[in-house]
Amino acid sequence: MTDIIESFETAKGNVFGDLLTNKEAAMPLKVGLMTLGFFEYWRMFPESLKANVTADMEVVYEQLQAAMPQEEVIWPGIIDTLDAAEAAGRQLAEERVDLIVYVAGTYCPDYMAIQALEHVRHVPVVLFNTQHTNKIDLHTNYENVLRNSALIANLQLAATFRKMGWYRDLKVVVGSIRDEAAYGEMSAYIRAYKAFTQLKKTNIGVVGHVFRGMYDFEYDKTMIKGTLGPNIIAIQVGHLLEQFNNASEEDSQAVAEATKTRFNIVGLDEADIAKSSRFYVALRNTLQRFRLDALTLLGQHYVEQKTGTTSYLANTMMHEEGKYVVNTEGDVHGLIMMVLMHMLNGKVPAYAEWGEFDEELNALLMVHHGFADTAYATDRSTVKVNRSPEQWGLQGAGFGFEYTLKPGTVTISHLIIDEEGYKMLIVKGEALHIPHNIPCEEITAVIQFVPPIKQFLAALIKEGFAHHCIIAYGDLTQELAYVADFMGIRKVMY
């Protein structure tokens, strides 16, 4: 008798009819490098032209590998005849490349590029217009002019694409073969594309619903899947409570002891710490059981009331471990931005709310509800664990963190859907050095912006973005802009 397959909603085992048993692991992106020359020129300049052009393309290959060490660059060699174009196109198709970097090493007619590209028409193309150096040689000869004649080929090919209706969103990068900025631009684009494709395989769990009255967070699962990519999976609170009630005492106690060792805990008793530690075990097991990559839950008067604690220790530990991304208040769109930023820089970002402004500093106070990677603290030794200042049906004091985020360049973002569809907020700022933690029983940051702060806030409010914001360290503005373009949504950048 064969085993009966049931839905994850009811099954007691670990194989479900409506969830993949084995989720596909994130794999390196396969980047196909397509390099072109022209057989006619080799016989005209037999001594060195082919060798020089090949050497230039070898530099491009090596530079691409260095710029994207996490990805796989597949290079079939120089395409200089129609047969070579056909073979290269077939090879790249068989390798199932995810994206093409197209480079002409000299002038070449468009028919060879088209012959090769027809085999991989479904993947995006980055056209790298390059040459041997970034200077004009005023003592050059005609052979060297041909060596640096890719611009003619690229203009011809791009015009042909336009006439054929191919690659309407063609990405073009210009630079010499050793131009670090050009490779940085290409790698940012490719990182963004990788994150965009990974989002389509991402499972996001929702326990509860959006907090009552927060219409700015409301979402449509179909719109999210169709436009942004992730799968939204409703997880009944009973599944989380089952994991909470069945959490191993040994595992929970180990978390509690580690927590007491790591942090300065103020005003909490053993029961508060024990419940928060048990919640971590329950949340981890829920994420694992249902093959989730991320999860948002409604804490207030819902999970907090049912478990008697907050998720803040659990969320913080998840973010420090870096495998799962979690947040609260049912902020699905904010969670998607957190997942995306995590994919782009490998660190789970902070999750905050807009706060009061300082006209002299041209800055805003950001306030975070009690959880974030403690590596973001200005001084990790000053991180304090205290009660949750907002009491939503808790039994005891709850559990929250207090510290101020360290200085550095940050990118702030969020998503919202309005009557015109989705749009993404993309803002660059600077987290200022605050020598002493702001003593408000929460996680805080003071972020300075480029636009005048009152003008920025007026524009932000009028534009109608959500009252939460996601804060990632580093400048991710270009990558996020690329992702928005891949999604086909509007960008709002300040």
Phi then psi for 116, rounded to 5 degrees? -75, -45
Nearest to 240, CA basis, from 273, 207, 209, 210:
207
Q: Is residue 120 scored above 80 in pLDDT?
A: yes
Q: What's the pLDDT at 394?
A: 79
Q: Of 175, 449, 466, nearest to 335 (Cα)? A: 466
Please check whether residue 310 is in contact with residue 394, taking contact to mean a CB–CB distance below 8 angstroms.
yes
User: What is this structure's pTM?
Assistant: 0.94
Under a CB-based contact definition with an 8 Å cutoff, are residues 203 and 23 in contact?
Answer: yes
Tell me the pLDDT tens digit for each residue of 430-451: 999 999 999 999 999 999 999 9
Tokens of 484: 């928005």
Please tell me the distance from the alpha carbon of residue 32 to that of residue 73, in angstroms, as a whole number.
6
**Amino acid 127: pLDDT:** 98
User: What is the mean pLDDT of the segment spanning 19-45?
Assistant: 93
Given this model, what pLDDT does residue 392 score?
78
Mean pLDDT of 257-263: 95
pLDDT-derived band at 230 (thresholds 50, 70, 90) equals very high
Q: Are the CB atoms for 127 and 154 separated by under 8 Å?
A: yes
DSSP 482: H
Task: Outline where 322-429 has alpha helix (H).
Answer: 332-345
Torsion over CA: 340, 343, 344, 347 (sign): positive
Q: What mean pLDDT is predicted for residues 123-134?
A: 97
Query: Looking up tokens 């940051």, which residue turns up?
Result: 445
33: confidence class by pLDDT, cuts 50, 70, 90: very high
Q: Which pLDDT does position 397 carry in this prediction?
A: 86
- Mean predicted lDDT score pLDDT of the chain: 95
Residue 251 banded pLDDT, cuts 50, 70, 90: very high
Report the candidate in 87, 69, 84, 79 with the shortest Cα–Cα distance to residue 28: 69
How confident is the model at residue 172, as a pLDDT? Answer: 98
Q: How confident is the model at residue 196 (pLDDT cuts 50, 70, 90)?
A: very high
What confidence category does residue 1 fall into, taking pLDDT thresholds of 50, 70 and 90?
Answer: very low
Q: 421: phi > 0 → left, psi -120 to 50 → alpha, else beta; which? A: left
**Structure-block tokens of residue 18:** 């409506």
CA distances, 1 to each of 6, 9, 30 (Å): 15, 23, 43
Residue with the bigger pLDDT between 14 and 64: it is 64
| 468 and 334 Cβ atoms separated by less than 8 Å | yes
From CA 462, how far away is CA 456, in angstroms rounded? 10
Q: Is the dihedral of CA 61, 64, 68, 69 positive or negative?
A: positive
- The more confidently predicted of residues 77 and 388 is 77
- Domains of the chain in sequence order: 30-198 (3.40.50.10940), 200-493 (3.40.275.10)
Looking at the DSSP assignment, which residues form a beta bridge with residue 371?
Answer: none
pLDDT-based confidence at residue 2 (cuts at 50, 70, 90):
low
| For the chain, percent of residues with pLDDT exceeding 70 | 100
Residue range 45-59: mean pLDDT, rounded: 96
Q: Is the pLDDT of residue 181 over 70?
A: yes
The pLDDT-based confidence of 95 (bands split at 50, 70, 90) is very high
* Residue of 267, 257, 438, 251 lying closest to 355 (CA atoms): 438
